Structure 1
Amino acid sequence: MMNQKKYQNIIQSSNTERYEYLVRKVADFETIYLIYGRFWQISTFNINGTECILVFPEKDFAEQHIKLEESKSVKKKGLNKFIHWLEKDKSNKLNLAVFPNRQNEVKIVNASEFKNDLLKECEQYE
């Protein structure tokens, strides 16, 4: 379990700061966390009229987000599989919502933009 002070500091940061944190963490640990509903389907969320998939850098953030929703669960996905999955989106309509804060404020990014940012960050670890 993450230190509560660290959790508070990160969750209270701006949408852009949380996005940058997510990109760094996912590139560093080569994992990302998604929310799944029943029947192991990735949950989508409508945020201001935009259909999105929530993504989280660490399991604790995802679990806190769904703690009152018994039908939801958190699943870890490896970075390579996740990037491959993003590349399947030929329509370029897949949007990702970077882990929301307590007020459900969130940065929404297109899958291709997210993939490019991740790959740039990964290059720094090589």
Structure 2
Amino acid sequence: MHEKKYQNIIELNNAERYDYLIRKVADFETIYLIYEKFWQMSTSDINGIECILVFPEKNFAQEHIKLEKSKSVKKKDLYKFINWLEKDKSNKLNLAVFPNQNNEARIVNSSELKNDLLNECEQYE
């Protein structure tokens, strides 16, 4: 991705980055997560809330963890991700959607993200 495009997107506010992720993930049917030690999803403390970080594209996720050698980026199929979100019946899972360099992100629960992704996917049918 061109540096100027990257900067324009990452500088969007939390709501705009959230919308960008929803559109991009629905379009390409993939989402990117941060893993630690290859098999365990990594969490971060954002505004005092433990969250799983999700990204619309690999390069944004890679840039976010560039100094953390123990972490890696994994691509996940959208529908497998949605199935995983559905297992969180209590909605206690917090997701930080597309955090920027300052670790600012919109934080949502599993059902909100799942519903927004599914609603966007319906637009593509």
Q: What range is the shorter-chain TM-score in?
A: over 0.9
In structure 1, the residue matched to 2:89 is 90
1:53 aligned residue: 52
Work out the number of aligned pairs and report it.
125
Q: Specify the alignment match of 2:110 in structure 1.
A: 111
Cα deviation 1:80-111 (Å, max 9, x = unaligned): 10000000001210111012112221110111
- In the superposition, the TM-score normalised over structure 1's length comes to 0.96
SS in 2 for 1:5: helix
Structure 1 runs (4+) greater than 4 angstroms displaced: none
Residue matched to 2:18:
19
Q: Structure 1: which 5+ runs fail to align?
A: none
Give the Å deviation of 1:39: 4.4
Q: What secondary structure is seen at the aligned counterpart in 1 of 2:100?
A: coil
Measured in 1, the distance between the counterparts of 2:59 and 2:29 equals 16
Identify unmatched segments of 5+ residues in structure 2: none
Tell me how far apart the structure 1 counterparts of residues 80 and 101 of structure 2 sit (CA, whole Å). 29
CA distance in 1: counterparts of 2:12 and 2:46, whole angstroms: 19
Distance 1:13 1:108 in 2: 15
CA distance in 1, matches of 2:38, 2:106: 27
Percentage of identical aligned residues: 78
Deviation at 1:51, TM superposition (A): 1.3
